[in-house]
Structure 1
Amino acid sequence: MNSVLLNDYFPLQLEEGDHEEKFITSGVTWQGYESLLISLGNSSCYRVAYLLETLQIMSPSRSHELDKKNIGRLLEVYLEENRIRFWGLGSMTIKSQDKQAGKEPDECYCIGTDKEIPDLAIEVVYSSGGVDTLEIYRRLGVIEVWFWQNQTFTIYCLENDSYQTKSNSQLLPNLDLNLMAQYVTINDPLEAITQWRKQIKDSTSF
């Protein structure tokens, strides 16, 4: 299975462009998953997810990547302006063989202190189906997950080993994600960041 997956399927399945493509297969061992990660190296063209012998490889669209970068920049501006310490880990692979789970978030962060497992994972969603992302993050112990879909944030927080939907971030309770969402959708990223920074400064000057 591993040699077929790596040598036959993967190079032929996914193409870059302004649409997302997913390749999903089952019966993949942990060793096969790790072999794929090694073969991909530091490639930023794909996102790989693994859960209980099910493997998913996604080729994100241009729109997906624009939203991912915009969200990351806006969040980091908020953290900087509020003097909140953070470690931005990008799409670092988070994985655990014991939990049989692995994921490359669109963005992820440690808040307050640096940690092996990030506190926050951010997922941009443009297509449905695939592996259970929240189950992967639950197994890995990520305490908060934001999904960006249809120009809206949905927030999940880990409580008693299960995710609960929340109206605001528990990690960053003063961050208005509904307001930040308006800046994510501005077409000019520089204008979005400039306006967002001014908004934050104006709101903290009172």
Structure 2
Amino acid sequence: MVTLQLRQIRVPPGQRIILEDVSWQVFEAILNELGEHRRSRVAYSQGTLEIMAPLPEHERSKVIIGDLVKALLDELDLNWESLGSTTLKRKDKNAGIEPDDCFYIQNYKLMIGKDNIDLNVDPPPDLAIEIDVTSKTQISAYKALKVPEIWRYENRNLEISLLQGEQYVKSQTSPTFPNFAIIEIIPQFVEMARTTGMSSALKEFRKWVKEQI
């Protein structure tokens, strides 16, 4: 059997590697070795570990969508806590994932000032955001962790999935923002950011939201 050290494996931007039959102990060891300050992203479910290295296209979309969510929450005067790409995991569920961004909205008070999250005690984020450019979101991990709402952005389209029972179902609306056509609005302003710049798109978005409310 050939044994490789993690530092011997390089994942180029836009690529991913998938490892099978990875135990929870090995998953934890890989997380520790990768550390917090890295560009790679991991997803783990039932022994399958995926390590991804995002492209600039991925990062740009992640930033603008996260900023649009924050702007909308602020304009609606809703409190929130963002945990970004924090590693969400539960040993008893044999699952772990690092979203592109995630928000606590209904449960924001519970997360204020928390540096460590234990999903055995703490609730999962109310909203997770995933940008699918080089890989598909591991829905099974989110299902195990019981994240109630996921936004997946792919090919300039937004898809909303809501956890109902033990399965995710696609939805045309977001319960977090029921009065807004999120699946139409978000891609529209992401595209605006591509053509006019992020700051300009955010200003126009805030202006648009104020007009709606």
Partner residue, 1:126: 133
> Tell me, what secondary structure is at the counterpart of 1:170?
coil
- The reply on whether 1:80 has 2:74 as its aligned counterpart is yes
Partner residue, 1:180: 186
The answer to whether the 8 Å contact 2:158/2:186 transfers is no
> Cα–Cα, structure 1 residues 153 and 133, in superposed 2: closer, same or farther, change >3 Å?
same
- TM-score when normalising by structure 1: 0.89
- The reply on whether 1:13 has 2:10 as its aligned counterpart is yes
Partner Cα distance (1:170, 1:201) in 2? 20
The answer to whether the 8 Å contact 1:145/1:156 transfers is yes
After superposition, what is the alpha-carbon deviation per residue over 1:41-63, rounded to whole angstroms, capped at 9, x for unaligned?
11240110111111100000010
How far apart are 1:128 and its partner, in Å?
4.3
After superposition, what is the alpha-carbon deviation per residue over 1:69-109, rounded to whole angstroms, capped at 9, x for unaligned?
00000110000010111111100000001000000000111
Partner residue, 1:22: 16
Partner Cα distance (2:17, 2:154) in 1? 21
Partner residue, 1:142: 147
Contiguous gaps of at least 5 residues in structure 1:
none
How far apart are 1:172 and its partner, in Å?
2.0
Partner residue, 1:60: 54
Partner residue, 2:3: 4
After superposition, what is the alpha-carbon deviation per residue over 1:9-46, rounded to whole angstroms, capped at 9, x for unaligned?
x5433124xxx110101011101101111112112401
Which structure 2 residues correspond to residues 25-64 of structure 1 after superposition, within 5 A?
Answer: 25-64=19-58
Deviates more, 1:64-73 or 1:33-42: 33-42
Output the aligned Cα RMSD. 1.8
Identity %: 34
Contiguous gaps of at least 5 residues in structure 2:
111-121
Q: Match for 1:111 among 99, 105, 110?
A: 105
Deviates more, 1:27-36 or 1:166-175: 166-175
> Cα–Cα, structure 1 residues 45 and 128, in superposed 2: closer, same or farther, change >3 Å?
closer
> Tell me, what secondary structure is at the counterpart of 1:72?
helix
How many residue pairs are counted as aligned between the two chains?
196
The structure 1 segments of at least 4 consecutive aligned residues displaced by more than 6 Å after TM superposition are none
How far apart are 1:161 and its partner, in Å?
1.6
Partner Cα distance (1:70, 1:91) in 2? 15
Partner Cα distance (2:26, 2:186) in 1? 39
The answer to whether the 8 Å contact 1:85/1:113 transfers is no
